[in-house]
Amino acid sequence: MTLLSNITTPYPVPESESERLEALASYDILDTNPEDDFEELTLLASEICQTPIALVSLIDDKRQWFKSHYGLNVTETPKEYAFCAHTIVNPHEIMQVRDARQDERFAHNPLVTGDTKVIFYAGVPLLNEDGYALGSLCVIDHEPKELTEGQLKALRVLSKQVLAQMELRRKINNLQKSNDTLVEANAFIQKFASTAAHDIKNPLSSIMLTAQALQSRLSTSGDVRSRNLVDMTLNSSKKLLTLVDEMLQYSKKPALLISNQQCFELSELLFKVIDLIDVPAGIKINYPHTEHALTCSSIALEQIFLNLITNAVRYNDKPEGIIDIHFLEDDQFYNFKVKDNGMGIAQKNHEKIFQKDVILNVIDRFNQKGTGIGLHTVKSLVEKLQGSISVSSRVGEGTTFNFRVKKNIEISDEEINAL
């Protein structure tokens, strides 16, 4: 039920009214359904103050709307009728009207003279942390009354609880909106990865078929150099096709990143990664000296090394570039180090480089700028593998990335389904 009005009785307007209305809108609470947390507070206010009516009233630009209305069968009234419109003008004070029939502000108000019969009113402003009075917690009686100091104190306490519920509700709503945005973004990324993988796979398959046809045609010729070039093209295409298939699997089911634990040799994985990179003749890559068997997500580790080693190549300005890859394991983690003698990174940028879309104003050896995606992706992958990554670097001397990933990650079916 809603009370309507055609009266034009003026009401006071708080300072910074537009900002107050904007603050109220941020709670996204107007016209929502009743909620037990608010209903219980108005019931308690009514019991403590011994009044038949208690309200949580919010004031927008045209009305007062009741989030909770104990003892009153209406959901809103015009702002011209609202006692609470007067309450919010003095946000640090309780407004108490002993007998509205004797108060010139309300004597002719239909809520006073009509069936609602608002005679006594006491309201506490709902003051948020920015200092805006959004409405009030108020109690109403049908006869003259005056609250005791104890009742007034209790009403203040209850008003803080009302506002606390509003703040909690806003935070939950904001978290839900953020989660919905993340879910939507993740779905888009998965779709994009799947589409990109398909788009790459089709021409790549054509390259393989062409290479196989050339390989067959050249098999009886004496052109050894051409056969070697075709063999190289075919081998590279197969490796790239395997990588694309892994990307396609991951785009369909991101949980594979953690759940698909494999046992593999680190050296084989590194050789596979290096084969995908165009390493200039002037750069030397040093591998771990001994063989190491790892049980981990090879898909994720490939992507991590592919990014780090590619960067070490791209941002090396020395005549003789050196990239050292070190490995050490302990009881819980595999520990890796990728060290180069390249351009280096300024201290002020050590944290920035892991942030999404951060692009430093640096040109690589191929006269290209970065995309601001690679190292953010690396950090995300490392953290998915329950590890961490850090960088140490000096401009002109080189950069070292230290990262570790957890050994033998155990993940439950519930966690897999949640990914």
Residue by residue, DSSP assigns 26-83 as TT--TTPPP-HHHHHHHHHHHHHHT-SEEEEEEE-SSEEEEEEEET---SEEEGGG-T
CB 251 within 8 A of CB 190: yes
Alpha carbons 128 and 163: distance in angstroms, whole number: 7
Counting every residue, how long is the chain?
419
Residue 2 DSSP code: B
Structural domain 17-174, CATH architecture: 2-Layer Sandwich (3.30)
- To which residue do tokens 């390989």 refer? 215
Distances (CA, A) of 86 to 78, 166, 225, 381: 13, 21, 92, 56
Alpha carbons 92 and 124: distance in angstroms, whole number: 8
Domain boundaries, the chain: 17-174, 253-418
How many percent of the chain have pLDDT more than 90? 53
Stated pTM of the model = 0.52
Q: What is the pLDDT of residue 5?
A: 40
CB 342 within 8 A of CB 358: no
User: What value does the mean pLDDT of the chain take?
Assistant: 84
Q: Comparing C-alpha atoms, which of 260, 232, 231 is closest to residue 245?
A: 260
Alpha carbons 301 and 189: distance in angstroms, whole number: 20
Torsion of CA 78, 79, 83, 88, to 10 degrees: 150
Q: What is the pLDDT of residue 8?
A: 41
Ranges of residues in the chain whose predicted pLDDT is under 50? 1-9, 415-416, 418-419
- To which residue do tokens 């788009």 refer? 199
- Residue 283 in 3-state DSSP? strand
Alpha helix (H) residue ranges in 219-354: 224-252, 256-259, 266-275, 298-314
User: Among positive and negative, which fits the CA dihedral 405, 406, 408, 411?
Assistant: negative
Domain 253-418, CATH 3.30.565.10 — does that match? yes
- To which residue do tokens 């990239």 refer? 323
Q: What is the pLDDT of residue 4?
A: 39
In the structure encoding, which two tokens stand for residue 336, read together? 């890796």
Note the pLDDT tens digit of each residue in 304-352. 998 899 999 989 999 999 999 999 999 999 999 999 999 999 999 998 8
End-to-end CA separation in angstroms for the chain: 46
Q: What is the pLDDT of residue 380?
A: 84
Note the pLDDT tens digit of each residue in 78-109. 999 999 999 999 989 999 999 999 999 999 99
